[in-house]
Each structure stands twice: as structure tokens, then as C-alpha cells.
């Protein structure tokens, strides 16, 4: 293989009962940013997303749409693929749980668990929520408006009594608790880790892992009256895409265990409790990290179809621009916390951070180089202390940004970059290159060169967040395509003087609300 270190990141696979909305786009975007960052930082990356197509919920939605389950899945899954292309996501694979490779993988995992004595046949009697595709104990239920019992998520429940296979989850308590204490952290943010720990230390019951009352799923090997519980099927996608059951394949050896499973906090328990336990049971290492991010609301309200306030990512990108939306989503909310989507907050970010701060700095300095330096990148004179200070701030960015990205603090990585952008604006204003044109053209050239060098480094660093805009900036600076990796950051690869420039065009327009 490549000799590079590897990095494997996954999104949840999304249910096809519903079309993609901002929440789905958000998770996949965060993974895209991580994947792009790691590629630029010299890693061999595999970035996976896809759709979760089995289970009762999908079966019911298909019936309601008057389609066969597969026909229905084909249509909605395609919509998720279109979203990925539209949002410029760089996923390396798109998995559908209805694919043959996945069925083979699920059945192999099942057999392994059975061989290892972790699966047994019994009877299940209890509450099930189709919307959550989850079983709930009596003491977890909440009261609905009309006195009816509901799942803790507010979803309707039904009483289920049927023969079922069980997974010996109870046997994994200690191993799981140990797993949560390993370093680097296996569950982030910390508050979420504590939640999971307290759930597990409260005692685990064996998990029902098959159903007999519907058909849309992967049959249990050797007993096809039973369909695998949709979560065992869904979670397995992460190893399917890495080549399972071929554990000797180059791909599996390179990419498993995955580096990060990213998801919303709603499905943390499945990823941080059930999934590592299944893997441990099969003798496979669990993923190195599960990261559960927060929940978006819309102008302060819960996002839901019934409230009619679902945010369509296609629409907001049409209105505000792709890179603008990508920047906003990653910058506005500390990654891991809940966040609120508001038009005003979006417009503020576009106009202040992008148009004013970075956009103006680039446009003003590059236009001056074009006009006042005969259209070529000037040769700088000796650097003053002020020049050295701002250059060294930019040179130090990669280490800082990397530190934040390593713990998925994506917003913080942007804060430190924008601190340098803002300092560079201060530098530019203080040294007034426009006033030096006649009095001291050599000093003007140095100030412009230093500013352009800051933009070069910022342009390289923001590629994961805003790939198109970063490309435009780097094109304007005439940085060759093979000189845009993170190995080009710092003082060893300063801008080449003497390069012919073109008249720059603004990269970050102001948003004017009609």
C-alpha cells in the first residue's frame, strides 16, 4: 500500500424513510472536513457514508408510498447520493445495506457471534418503538398527552411477544467500561462518555437481535424465519465497507479498526455500547473513537416534519452559497454542542467573517499587488518585527489546528485561523501599504508580500471547510496544484516572488437580504 498512515471515518447510514435534511448534511459535512483535513495532512483516507434500508420503519414508509421496499429505497437512497455530490462531500464509498456485499458481511458476523457462544434463542416480550427501531424497558417509558405510554424519545410503542435470538450483552459490561477508559479517548465529548458509562454501569440486559414479524431485512443464517434486528444489520455496514468478512484483505488490515464513527447524540448508545460489544464478541477490535455531536434546532424550535420547519440543505445552499453554508455549520456551534440555525446568524457569519475579514483582506492586498507591483508578486525587503510576528503566527497555525482537529473541535480550528486573519487585517491597516506607494515602494512591496503569504497559508488551511473558495484564493496566488498540501505550510515554502498575477476577483461576496 501507500506507506502513509491510514484514517477511516464514517457517518451514520441514514434511514431512507425520509428525505435528507440539514441534520444529515451536518454530520456528513463534519466527516468530510475531517477526511479532507487528513488527506491534506498526508493520510490514506477512507470516508464512508450511505443508507440504512432495512427494518420495519422503512418497510412501512414504502407501503405508505405505494412502492415495493427496494423501489422505495432506490429512490430515497439516490437523494442522499445527490446531496453528497451537491455538498461537495468527498466520500470514498457509499454503502447501501441492501447490497449483496453487506448481506454476506452481516451473516458472517452473526455466525461468528454464534460460534463464540454470544447468541441464543429465547422469547421476547416487551415494548418496541418502530420509529426508533429500539426496545424499551417499562421503567424507561414516559407518559404521553392522553395518558398513553411512549418511548423516551416520544415515539409510539407497541407490545411485542415473539421468539427471538438474543445477544449476550450482559457479558460485556466490564470490557465496555474498560474500553471507555482507554486513551486516546474512545468516546467524545466527555459528557457523552459519562452518560454511556453510567448507562453501562447501571447493568446491561441481553439484547433481542432478531424479529419474526416482518420480512424486510437480512435473514438469520440457518433460520430464515428470523430477520436480523435492523441495528445489528446497520452497524455492520462499517466493517462491510472495509472488506469484512475478508479480514485478511489489504483493505481490512489497512482501515480497520475505524478511526472515528461520527453521529448525532440520538444514536450514541447503539454506537458506544452495542456496536463495540458485537465486535468484541466476534473477536474484532472496536473503532478507536465514537463522537456524538449535538442537535440542531431551527430558529429556536425543534426541527420536525409535523412543525413544517425542516431545513432543506438544497434550499439553503441555493440561497447562501455552498462554502458559506459549510463554513457557517462548522463555525457557528462548538462541535459537540446543540446549535440553532438562524438566518440572521448565517448572514452575520457570511458578511463579517467571510466578506469583511478574509474576503476584503485578500481582495485589497491582491488588487494592490496587481496594480502597484506591475502585476507580479513582489520581492520583499528585510522583514520587520511586525512582519515576523504575523508570519510566525501563520507558521504556527498547522500545529494548533491539528490539535483541535484531533479531538474534533472543528469550530476551534476555525477560531484560531480567523484570529490570524483578524491580526493580519490589523497589520494591513496599521502599515497602510496604500500610503507607501510613492513614499516607500519597497516597504509597500514587503507589506503586500507578507499579507499575501498569510493568505496563502490560510487558503491552504481552509481547503477542508471551503474547498471551492480556497481553490479560488490559491489560484489567484498562482499556487500550483501540487503545492497545496499541509507539507507546504510554514516558513519553508514562502510565496515565490516574480510570479505573474491576474486581476483578482472577490471570492466572498456580501450577502444582501432582499
Between residues 52 and 353, which has the closer beta carbon with respect to ligand ME8? Answer: 52
Distances (CA, A) of 47 to 9, 116, 127, 129, 235: 5, 31, 36, 31, 16
- For ligand ME8, the closer of residues 258 and 361 by Cβ is 258
Of residues 223 and 304, the one with the C-beta less far from ligand ME8: 304
User: What is the DSSP secondary-structure string of 14-47?
Assistant: EETTS---HHHHHHHHHHHHHHHHHHHTT-EEEE
Name the minimum Å distance from CB 81 to ligand ME8: 14
Q: Which is nearer to ligand ME8, 179 or 274 (CB)?
A: 274
Q: How far is the CB of 250 from ligand ME8 (least distance, A)?
A: 24
62/368 with CB nearer ligand ME8 = 62
CA separation for the pair 461, 438 (Å, rounded): 34
CB-nearer residue toward ligand ME8: 155 or 347:
155
CB of 338 to ligand ME8, least distance (A): 8
Query: Which residues would be at the binding site for ligand ME8 (CB under 6 A)?
Result: 12-15, 23-24, 26-27, 52, 234-235, 237, 263-264, 266-267, 295-296, 303
- CA 129 to chain centroid, in Å, comes to 27
Give the total residue count for the chain: 514
Q: How far is the CB of 165 from ligand ME8 (least distance, A)?
A: 19
> In terms of CB distance, is 161 or 266 closer to ligand ME8?
266
Cell numbers placing 206: 441481553
| Pair 265, 292: CB distance under 8 Å | yes
Give the CA distances from residue 297 to residues 28, 188, 240, 339, in Å, rounded to whole numbers and listed in that order.
17, 21, 33, 6
DSSP H helices, 236-359, are 237-240, 250-255, 268-269, 275-281, 313-320, 322-331, 343-348
| CB 332 to ligand ME8: min, Å | 13
* Cβ nearer to ligand ME8, comparing 336 with 378: 336
Distance in Å, CB of 166 to ligand ME8, minimum:
20
Q: Which residue has the cell 432582499?
A: 514
459 close to 477: Cβ distance less than 8 angstroms: yes
Cβ nearer to ligand ME8, comparing 43 with 295: 295
- Contacts with 177 (C-beta within 8 Å, 6 or more apart), sequence order: 197, 200, 201
Q: CA angle at residue 240 from 237 to 243, to 5 degrees?
A: 155
Kindly state the smallest distance separating residue 228's Cβ from ligand ME8, in Å.
13
How many C-beta neighbours within 10 Å does residue 461 have?
23
∠ CA 29-32-36, rounded to 5° = 145
Beta carbon nearer to ligand ME8, 32 or 52:
52
Report the distance separating Cα 152 and Cα 143, nearest Å: 9
Cα 69 from Cα 74, distance rounded (Å) = 9
CB 174 within 8 A of CB 275: no
Rounded Cα gap, residues 275 and 207, in angstroms: 12
Nearest-approach distance from CB 214 to ligand ME8, in angstroms = 16
Give the number of other Cβ atoms within 10 Å of residue 76's Cβ: 22
Between residues 264 and 509, which has the closer beta carbon with respect to ligand ME8?
A: 264
Residue whose CB is nearest to ligand ME8 in the complex, by number? 23
| CB 260 to ligand ME8: min, Å | 13
CB of 76 to ligand ME8, least distance (A): 10
Look up cell 454511556; give the residue. 196
Smallest distance, Å, CB 153 to ligand ME8? 11
Amino acid at each position: 500500500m501507500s506507506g502513509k498512515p491510514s484514517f477511516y471515518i464514517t457517518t451514520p447510514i441514514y434511514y431512507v424513510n425520509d428525505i435528507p435534511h440539514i441534520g444529515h448534511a451536518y454530520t456528513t459535512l463534519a466527516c468530510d472536513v475531517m477526511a479532507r483535513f487528513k488527506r491534506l495532512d498526508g493520510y490514506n483516507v477512507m470516508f464512508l457514508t450511505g443508507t440504512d434500508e432495512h427494518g420495519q420503519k422503512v418497510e412501512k414508509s414504502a407501503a405508505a408510498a405505494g412502492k415495493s421496499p427496494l423501489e422505495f429505497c432506490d429512490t430515497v437512497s439516490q437523494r442522499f447520493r445527490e446531496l453528497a455530490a451537491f455538498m461537495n462531500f468527498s466520500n470514498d464509498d457509499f454503502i447501501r445495506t441492501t447490497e449483496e456485499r453487506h448481506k454476506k458481511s452481516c451473516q458472517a458476523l452473526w455466525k461468528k457471534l454464534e460460534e463464540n457462544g454470544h447468541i441464543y434463542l429465547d422469547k421476547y416480550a416487551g415494548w418496541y418503538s418502530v420509529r426508533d427501531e429500539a426496545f424499551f424497558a417499562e421503567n424507561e417509558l414516559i407518559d404521553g398527552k392522553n395518558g398513553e405510554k411512549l418511548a423516551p424519545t416520544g415515539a409510539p410503542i407497541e407490545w411485542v411477544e415473539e421468539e427471538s435470538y438474543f445477544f449476550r450483552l450482559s457479558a460485556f459490561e466490564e470490557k465496555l467500561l474498560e474500553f471507555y477508559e482507554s486513551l486516546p479517548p474512545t468516546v467524545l465529548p466527555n459528557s457523552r462518555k459519562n452518560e454511556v458509562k453510567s448507562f453501562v454501569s447501571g447493568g446491561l440486559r441481553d439484547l433481542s437481535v432478531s424479529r419474526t414479524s416482518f420480512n424486510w431485512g437480512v435473514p438469520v443464517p440457518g433460520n430464515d424465519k428470523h430477520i436480523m434486528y435492523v441495528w445489528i444489520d446497520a452497524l455492520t455496514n462499517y466493517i462491510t465497507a472495509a472488506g469484512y468478512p475478508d479480514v485478511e484483505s489489504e483493505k481490512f488490515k489497512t482501515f480497520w479498526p475505524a478511526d472515528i464513527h461520527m453521529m448525532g447524540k440520538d444514536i450514541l448508545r447503539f454506537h458506544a455500547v452495542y456496536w463495540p460489544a458485537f465486535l468484541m464478541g466476534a473477536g474484532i477490535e472496536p473503532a478507536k473513537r465514537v463522537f456524538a455531536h449535538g442537535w440542531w434546532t431551527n430558529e429556536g424550535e425543534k426541527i420536525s416534519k409535523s412543525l413544517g420547519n425542516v431545513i432543506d440543505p438544497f434550499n439553503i445552499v441555493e440561497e447562501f452559497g455552498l462554502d458559506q453554508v459549510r463554513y457557517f455549520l462548522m463555525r457557528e456551534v462548538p462541535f459537540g454542542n446543540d446549535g440553532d440555525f438562524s438566518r440572521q446568524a448565517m448572514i452575520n457569519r457570511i458578511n463579517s467573517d467571510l466578506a469583511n475579514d478574509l474576503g476584503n483582506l485578500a481582495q485589497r492586498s491582491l488588487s494592490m499587488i496587481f496594480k502597484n507591483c506591475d502585476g507580479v508578486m513582489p520581492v520583499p525587503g528585510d522583514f520587520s518585527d511586525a512582519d515576523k510576528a504575523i508570519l510566525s503566527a501563520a507558521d504556527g497555525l498547522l500545529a494548533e489546528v491539528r490539535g483541535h482537529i484531533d479531538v474534533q473541535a472543528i469550530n476551534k480550528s476555525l477560531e484560531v485561523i480567523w484570529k490570524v486573519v483578524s491580526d493580519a487585517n490589523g497589520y494591513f491597516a496599521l502599515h497602510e501599504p496604500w500610503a507607501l506607494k510613492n513614499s516607500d515602494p519597497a516597504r509597500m512591496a514587503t507589506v503586500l508580500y507578507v499579507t499575501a503569504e498569510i493568505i496563502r497559508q490560510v487558503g491552504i488551511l481552509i481547503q477542508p471547510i471551503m474547498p471551492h473558495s480556497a481553490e479560488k484564493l490559491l489560484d489567484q496566488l498562482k499556487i500550483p496544484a501540487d503545492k497545496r498540501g499541509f507539507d507546504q505550510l510554514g516558513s519553508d515554502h514562502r510565496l515565490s516572488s516574480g510570479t505573474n498575477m491576474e486581476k483578482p476577483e472577490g471570492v466572498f461576496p456580501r450577502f444582501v437580504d432582499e
